[in-house]
Amino acid sequence: MHHFRHIGQNLHCESVDLAEVARLHGTPTYVYSAATMAGNYTRLARGLGGLDAQVCYAMKANSSLAVLRHFANLGAAFDLVSGGEIRRVLAAGADVRRSVFAGVGKTEAEIALALEHGVFSFHVESEPELARLNHVAGRLGVKAPVAIRVNPDVDAHTHAKITTGKSDNKFGVPLARAAAAYAAAAKLPHVSVKGVQMHIGSQLTSVAPFVEAVEKVAPFVARLKAEFGIAYFSVGGGIGIVYQDALASGAQEWWDAQPSDKRPITPEAYGAALVPLLKPLGLKILLEPGRFLVGNAGVLLTRVEHLKRGEGKNFLIVDAAMNDLVRPAMYDSYHEIVPLHRDTTRAALTADVVGPVCESGDCFAHGRQLQEAGEGEYLALMSAGAYGAAMASRYNTRPLPAEVMVSGGAFELVNARETFEQMTANEKVPAFLK
């Protein structure tokens, strides 16, 4: 569910006409709905009713300071994967003491930063990382709280680049080797065994892989509770969102119209399936959703530059590009494309929607049927709140896009469009070239 809809002919985010945002702040610009994020967080927390649960927002999905502060205000902790993300949470005025630090390649400096700020736990990906944690914690005179990431070898049936729970992925310790890893961790003087973690992938649209993974790992978790007195079990993230029919999916009527066996996963269904499996463990339960909380809470606004009519194909050229939203180029991802001004009297247009970057891969959609659009008109790429601005680059010396947050009828620029001077501020021509 989300808060993007046409009111009359114009697309709104909550009560804000998005064309007004585009005119005031230009394009490409990301727009985020505060109400959608709050609604997603609240539904997920309620779906886990009956558990001692903590939602840790996986901020790699969207690390805007405004987004982080919003989730902190709602009660979320954070799933951190770099020293930079730790610093971002602190810069947002939030606390990392309930948050977890994951990632396969934590440096000594990042570990020290996390320990100095009292991170709740480290999600350990390998035996060598345990040794590094023990070394850094010993140097600082503290104990590092840890949970080893157990790889359950469960196929999440998602895109190859976002699956993480198979034995041939780089993440975690195989379940068959996990007992030995815990035994080794328990002997380290500057490590404190605190929990177990798993995460099987991203954009899962069925609850079945979650159930399979929990059923596979839960007996091992119970064993660790008995042996080491662990306090929590992290079940990871991965709840998927609707990309196709994304605009329609914001309405209850759309959800009600879907056949029961075809309905997208919901936080209610997720909770109903997992709570009975997790409650008997008697542990604190952590989960680390990212995309689910922010994906459908954001859109990317763009302006039409030209309609190029070719031999047997049309190209709708817009001012957003793969550097602003890389998901279609990287993952062949689908994003619904919607006019900000809907006019049902216009003819339909079938076109490739492409950006200005000098790459054939700079394409948001192939052969997409759209309302006919002309130069200067605005479009919205839906479901762009996750892995949009967070993965943006300066390719082709294009500035990073602006970001705006909406709450009710108010909106505010939360990240100004990058200037050329900001882009080149740290660069210099060496003396030997002058």
- Active site members: 358
Non-local (6+) Cβ contacts of 122 within 8 A are: 100, 101, 102, 106, 111, 114, 133, 144, 145, 146, 147
Residue 374's alpha-carbon distances to 310, 346, 401, in angstroms, are: 16, 11, 22
Closest CA to 320 of 362, 351, 359: 362
Which amino acid appears at position 98 of this protein? Answer: R
Mutual angle of helices 175-186 and 127-140, in 10-degree steps: 20
- Phi-psi domain of 205 (left: phi exceeds 0; alpha: psi -120 through 50; beta: other): alpha
**Tokens 């001692």, residue?**
52
Instruction: Choose among 13, 2, 32: nearest CA to 403.
Output: 32
Distance of CA 283 to the CA centre of its chain: 26
Do the Cβ atoms of 234 and 195 come closer than 8 Å?
yes
Neighbour tally for 262: CB within 10 Å: 7
DSSP 245-284: TTTGGGSHHHHHHS-TTTPPP-HHHHHHHHHHHHGGG-SE
Distance CA 299, CA 335 (A): 10
Burial class (CB in 10 A: 0-12, 13-18, 19+), 16: buried
* Pair type for strands 378-381 and 402-407: unpaired
Q: Which of 277, 283, 295 is nearest to 204 (CA)?
A: 295
Angle at 248 between CA 243 and CA 253, to 5 degrees: 130
Q: What does DSSP assign to residue 425?
A: T
Beta-carbon contacts of 105 under 8 Å, excluding residues fewer than 6 positions away, are: none
- Structure-derived torsion over alpha carbons of residues 237, 242, 247, 249, reported in degrees to the nearest 10: -100
Tokens of 397: 């010396």
Evaluated on CA atoms 104, 109, 111, 117, the torsion sign reads: negative
